[in-house]
Amino acid sequence: RLYDVKRGEILIDGVDIRRLEKGYLRRHIAIVSQDPFLFAGTIKDNITLWEDIPEERLKMAVEVSNLGILLEKREKGLLTEVGERGEGLSTGEKQLITIARALAFDCSIIIFDEATSSIDPETEHLIQEALWKVMEGRTTLIIAHRLSTIKRVGRIFVIHRGRIVEEGTHRELIERKGIYESLYRLQELRE
């Protein structure tokens, strides 16, 4: 929580977030962004943040996030050294590491903020596969301009000029022939 809302409220499990300690929020909310922040250290350090995460949970996080597929190409695997801000890794690898981190810490809320916007199609596919696995039993918010990323989600909100102007499933929004449908068709033509 960087600042408190001025109108309305944001609830987590029925509790206003202004009543929750910032430490609690940080432990339960993870963000996977288009520019993930990593630290100098090993890939394992960047997943565990130097905390004592049980080995089984770490293995599960690497597997479910699809990071293991990319680690197979690296001789040292989880012990591969990375520079400050993830120097030496692709954007996709950085994003998969942050997904693995969210799983290792068992975050109940995960926010994907343009997580597939600047990566190659192969890694995008790995991230999308991981995303569907990660959503199980968690609250997941996906912010995306690439609409193929959100086709399978339960609810889509279209925000235009700061307001929600459409809401529904992918199919419902396509049938309404509004802003979402127009943007989706345009993106289909470009791909």
d(CA 147, CA 170): 9
Residue for token digits 């993106």? 187
Q: Residues 80, 174: one domain? A: no
d(CA 160, CA 60): 38
Domains in the chain: how many in total?
2
Q: Residues 178, 134: one domain? A: no
CA proximity to 150, closest of 105, 187, 190, 175: 187
Q: Is residue 2 part of a domain?
A: no
Q: Residues 89, 128: one domain? A: yes
Q: Is residue 3 part of a domain?
A: no
**What is the per-residue pLDDT for 183?**
93
Between helix 91-104 and helix 55-64 the angle, nearest 10°, is 140
Q: Is residue 190 part of a domain?
A: yes
Q: Is residue 10 part of a domain?
A: no
CA distances to 37, 68, 106, 125 from 41, in Å: 12, 18, 22, 27
d(CA 129, CA 143): 16
Q: What is the pLDDT along the chain (191 residues), one digit of tens a residue?
A: 667 888 888 888 899 999 999 888 888 898 888 888 899 999 999 999 999 999 999 999 998 888 888 888 889 989 999 989 888 888 888 888 998 998 899 888 988 888 776 677 777 777 777 778 778 888 888 888 888 888 888 899 999 998 999 999 999 999 999 999 999 999 888 76
Q: Residues 105, 123: one domain? A: yes
Q: Residues 116, 187: one domain? A: no
Q: Is residue 118 part of a domain?
A: yes
Q: Is residue 124 part of a domain?
A: yes
Q: Residues 137, 183: one domain? A: no
Q: Residues 173, 123: one domain? A: no
d(CA 188, CA 95): 25
Q: Residues 106, 169: one domain? A: no
Q: Is residue 9 part of a domain?
A: no
Q: Residues 139, 158: one domain? A: no
Q: Residues 93, 172: one domain? A: no
| Residue 94 CB partners (closer than 8 Å, separation 6+) | 36, 38, 86
Q: Is residue 167 part of a domain?
A: yes
pLDDT tens sequence across 52-73: 999 999 999 998 888 888 888 8
Q: Residues 79, 138: one domain? A: yes
Q: Residues 32, 109: one domain? A: yes
73: CATH: 3.40.50.300
| pTM (predicted TM-score) | 0.80
Host domain of residue 32:
22-146
